Amino acid sequence: MKFVDEARIHVIAGNGGNGCVSFRREKFVPRGGPNGGNGGKGGDVILQADAQLTTLLDLTYPKPFRAKKGTHGKGKDQTGKNGKDLIIRVPTGTLVRDDQTEELLQDLLFDGQRFIAAEGGRGGRGNARFATPTMRAPRHAEKGETGQERTLRLELKLLADVGLIGYPNVGKSTLLSRISSARPKIADYPFTTLVPNLGVVVREDHRSFVVADIPGLIEGASKGAGLGLTFLRHVERTRLLIHLLDISGEPTCDAVKDFHTLNHELKAYGPSLQEKIQFVALNKVDLPSVREKGKGLKREFEKIGYPFYFISGHTGEGVKELMVAVSLKLESIGNQVHE
């Protein structure tokens, strides 16, 4: 399924039904009074978060989303039927903004959470509701109100406990496939991963946490280089980051510089991103040259306060130890609501 994390939709709530002008016409009942019923309320357009969805793809089509109208009132004090609500399912983590004002209307964080995106019009009152001691035979009724109509912009920010970040081709997808049942595309060229991938890590006590592979981060990502602006938003909701490093390439590769460069991009996009807890993992230590050079790196990173791990996404070395440490840190953080 194609991953889509932005969509613009036009929603139209149902109009309320008109009130009815009617009078009693029973045999042997002289001077029958008014008995026109009220119109039914128009249906609402409702956005509902669904944890089973992971994309906004189904909402990218140009057709408007329209709820049903309320039916008109009838004689004999019969109230019109309310219009049926239209429920639009969206992934959890969807932000709802007014397309004109950019105002944030709702953040759908929890499965089943609802937001009335457009409210249906109120039904008009029938003439029976206008009868008074001085006006016993009103010959007027109200028209139903028009349903709300607006254009909304939906923006999906993935809900994940842990984010995997790092330059392209450092092994994020390989690690995700090692620790979960996710099967992202893996290849030996940059930007193999074009969409964020989610994986569920199941612990020994059968509890779990969600890990997201965040693609496309390079120098200048906060200004749109690579795929940065497209996917940096998905880092915002994570509670912890695993910063993956790879020094198996060119001899001039500077892992410390790469680390600080990406952290600068996180800060440029949003200062809160750089403040997130980070674990540093040196990947591909199954290669002897990497293991040897990594000893100095470990001392450097631990000196500046970052937990450092040697791992191999290919062989699995060190991965279990890293996941145990991440799990314990998530427990100490607690089940905070994603901001």
Query: What is the spatial distance between Cα 291 and Cα 22, in angstroms, rounded to a whole number?
Result: 89
Do 40 and 83 meet the contact criterion of CB atoms below 8 Å apart? yes
206 in helix, strand or coil? coil
Residues 101, 189, single domain; the answer is no
Among 64, 54, 65, CA closest to 5: 54
Query: What is the spatial distance between Cα 68 and Cα 82, in angstroms, rounded to a whole number?
Result: 8
Q: Which two tokens stand for residue 324?
A: 């145990």
Residues 110, 175, single domain; the answer is no
Which of 95-99, 302-306, 333-337 is predicted least confidently?
Answer: 333-337
Q: Do the domain assignments include residue 339?
A: no
Given 156, 185, 206, the domain boundary residue is: 156
Per-residue pLDDT, averaged over 221-247, amounts to 69
Do 112 and 71 meet the contact criterion of CB atoms below 8 Å apart? no
Query: What is the spatial distance between Cα 187 and Cα 171, in angstroms, rounded to a whole number?
Result: 10
Q: Which two tokens stand for residue 61?
A: 């089509």
Which of 72-81, 100-109, 248-257, 292-301 is predicted least confidently?
Answer: 248-257
> At residue 248, does pLDDT exceed 70?
yes
Residue with tokens 């397309």: 99
CA distances from 19 to 15, 23, 46, 81, 218 (A): 12, 13, 25, 12, 62
In terms of residue numbers, what domain contains 14?
Answer: 1-156
Residues 59, 78, single domain; the answer is yes
Residue 158 phi, psi dihedral angles, 5° rounding: -60, 140
Give residues with Cβ within 8 angstroms of 248, minimum separation 6.
Answer: 284, 287, 289, 290
What is residue 28's predicted lDDT score, i.e. its pLDDT? Answer: 74
Write the CATH number for 220: 3.40.50.300
Domain count, the chain: 2
**What one-character-per-residue DSSP string does 79-102 give?**
PPPPPPPEEEEEETTEEEEETTT-
Residues 183, 305, single domain; the answer is yes
Residues 145, 167, single domain; the answer is no
- Model confidence over 151-160: pLDDT tens digits? 999 988 777 7
Share of the chain above pLDDT 70, in %: 84
Please, where are the H alpha helices in 210-278?
228-231, 255-269, 271-274
> At residue 1, does pLDDT exceed 50?
no
DSSP-derived letter for residue 129 is: G
Residues 134, 53, single domain; the answer is yes
Q: Which two tokens stand for residue 207?
A: 């509890």
Given 156, 173, 196, the domain boundary residue is: 156
- Model confidence over 84-131: pLDDT tens digits? 999 999 988 899 999 999 899 999 988 999 999 999 999 999 999 999
